[in-house]
Amino acid sequence: MEHKKSEHDDDFLAGKTVWVIVLAAVLILFNQVQLFQLNSALGTKSSTSSGQLALLSSSDLSGVDVSQIKSTPQAVAATIDLSGAKDAQGVIDAMIPRGTPEYGKELGISYDDPVTALNFLAYKLYPAIKQDVKTNSPEVWQRYLNLATMPVGISCEYCCGVGPISIDSKGDLTCGCSHAPAIHAITLYLMKNTDMTDAEVLREVLRWKSLWFPKNMVEVGLKIAGGDASVLNDVPSMVGGC
């Protein structure tokens, strides 16, 4: 039997259409709010005593003034591009390097084997590169002191509690763990043997620091990008012996 369309059917369909439209509007509004919050997190500027430090949204570090950096989180925000990090995996992809850097071929180290790199940098390279730079390259040594004695995160702070600085004013280590000489070895080597700027050296140091302290460093990145740090509960706190 053919069903005849009633006034009740028309009212039902009209009401259903209205609810669909309302639901679509709510979803659109929700997406706009989420996008606004994400853009705000990535575009927020961190106050410093001497001005404003913008969060990085590209890989170009030419505009980064390291003298304005007052902490490891600020160093991460200033030198590592987290603008494309939408979740924990995005932050990991941005902060944890893979493969072998160009200078790593000469040194025989790779991002993919951070423990071997740690031992080489700490016990073989550091004593030699420190003595060499201090004796033969006084201008590089002074440049190193200028950067590494600022609270920019060239340190082993997550295993030893020394904070973002782990040398004294003379360039001597204030911590005896293996991460301390390793992180300073890579700083000295890059300053002496590459044309990297201070900001580029700092970014490379933070990459290695992220390999050795993945949980702490990625947590920093997640907070900057506005993500959920609780997903890092199963990530190792430290790689390599302390």
Alpha helices in 67-196 (DSSP H): 72-79, 88-95, 102-107, 114-120, 126-136, 138-148, 157-160, 179-193
Residue 123: DSSP 8-state? I
What is residue 71's three-state secondary structure?
A: coil
Beta pairing, strands 51-54 & 45-48:
antiparallel
pLDDT at residue 23 greater than cutoff 50: no
Asked if 18 and 93 sit in the same domain, the reply is no
What is residue 182's three-state secondary structure?
A: helix
pTM of the model: 0.73
Task: Answer yes or no: is 78 within a domain.
Answer: yes
Asked if 81 and 34 sit in the same domain, the reply is no
What residues make up the domain containing 12?
7-43
Task: Answer yes or no: is 107 within a domain.
Answer: yes
Task: Answer yes or no: is 126 within a domain.
Answer: yes
Asked if 19 and 64 sit in the same domain, the reply is no
pLDDT at res. 237: 53
Asked if 124 and 192 sit in the same domain, the reply is yes
Task: Answer yes or no: is 60 within a domain.
Answer: yes
Count of other CB atoms within 10 angstroms of residue 173: 18
Is the separation of the CB atoms in 206 and 80 below 8 Å?
A: yes
Q: What is the pLDDT of residues 134-188, one digit of tens each?
A: 999 999 999 999 999 999 999 999 988 899 999 999 999 999 899 999 999 999 9
Q: Residue 52: exposed, middle, or buried by beta-carbon count in 10 A (0-12, 13-18, 19+)?
A: exposed
Q: What are the structure tokens assigned to 192, written together? A: 């002496």
pLDDT at residue 49 greater than cutoff 90: no
Asked if 34 and 78 sit in the same domain, the reply is no
Q: Cα(186)–Cα(188) distance, rounded to whole angstroms? A: 6
Please state the domain count of the chain.
2
Query: Closest by alpha carbon to 172, among 117, 109, 127?
Result: 127
Task: Answer yes or no: is 1 within a domain.
Answer: no
% of the chain beyond a pLDDT of 90: 63
Q: Cα(139)–Cα(136) distance, rounded to whole angstroms? A: 9
pLDDT at res. 239: 61
More confident residue, 64 or 240: 64
Token match 């040594």: residue?
Answer: 141
Q: Residue 69: exposed, middle, or buried by beta-carbon count in 10 A (0-12, 13-18, 19+)?
A: buried
% of the chain beyond a pLDDT of 70: 69
**What average pLDDT does range 197-213 have in this prediction?**
97
241 pLDDT band, cuts 50/70/90, is low
When the pLDDT of each residue in the chain is averaged and rounded to a whole number, the result is 79
Asked if 71 and 170 sit in the same domain, the reply is yes
Asked if 132 and 34 sit in the same domain, the reply is no
pLDDT at residue 100 greater than cutoff 90: yes
**What average pLDDT does range 204-217 have in this prediction?**
96
Residue 53: DSSP 8-state? E
**What average pLDDT does range 235-241 have in this prediction?**
54
Q: What are the structure tokens assigned to 103, written together? A: 């200078």
99: left (phi over 0), alpha (psi -120 to 50) or beta: left
Task: Answer yes or no: is 2 within a domain.
Answer: no
pLDDT at res. 30: 36
Task: Answer yes or no: is 136 within a domain.
Answer: yes
pLDDT at res. 34: 35
